[in-house]
Amino acid sequence: MRAVDDVNTRWERDTVSFAASGIKQKWRMKREMRSPRYTTVWEEILTVQAK
């Protein structure tokens, strides 16, 4: 608990928290910047092969 308190004191409140405490969404997705093709087209996915 002391380590969590030290990290939160040093950087910012709620930098480290416990999963059971839930999350507060401070950000929102910028939907206007989303591509018109926000779903996957399998034919457009790159394939990488190792030599």
| pLDDT given at position 17 | 76
Integer CA distances (angstroms), 40 to 11, 18, 37, 46, 48, in order: 38, 34, 7, 12, 17
The pTM assigned to this predicted structure is 0.36
| pLDDT given at position 20 | 66
| pLDDT given at position 23 | 67
User: How does residue 32 score in pLDDT terms, banded at 50, 70 and 90?
Assistant: confident
- Interatomic CA distance for residues 36 and 51, integer angstroms: 35
- Interatomic CA distance for residues 25 and 50, integer angstroms: 40
| pLDDT given at position 10 | 87
- pLDDT tens across 14-26, in order? 777 776 666 666 7
Under DSSP, is residue 4 helix (H, G, I), strand (E, B) or coil? helix
